[in-house]
Amino acid sequence: MRKLLGGLVLVGAAAGAGFVVRNYLQDRASAVQGEVRITLDGGAEIEPDPAVAREFVDIARRVLEISG
């Protein structure tokens, strides 16, 4: 029984790691394509150029890593 649970934990960890990597790569691809939109307080949306979008994604990711 312990082997089965240990195996399930390892499979779950591998699946979780795969999910995280897939999301990271998708986020990176959207930043490169310029699909990042910034919503201002007034409700207006702007779409920055790819270099700026990549920077915003990196900053947001670091903030989430620090707070997580």
Specify if 4 maps to a domain: no
| 29-56: pLDDT as tens digits | 555 555 677 788 888 888 777 777 778 7
Residue 24 forms part of a structural domain: yes
- Give the integer Cα–Cα distance in Å for 61 and 53: 12
- The domain of 47 spans 17-67
Residue 36 belongs to some domain of the structure: yes
Q: Is the pLDDT of residue 57 over 60?
A: yes
Residue 41 lies in a domain: yes
Report the mean per-residue pLDDT for the chain.
78
Q: Is residue 1 part of a domain?
A: no
The answer to the question of residue 55 being in a domain is: yes
Written in H, E and C, the secondary structure of 14-59 is HHHHHHHHHHHHHHHHHHHHCCCCEECCCCCEECCCHHHHHHHHHH
pTM score: 0.39
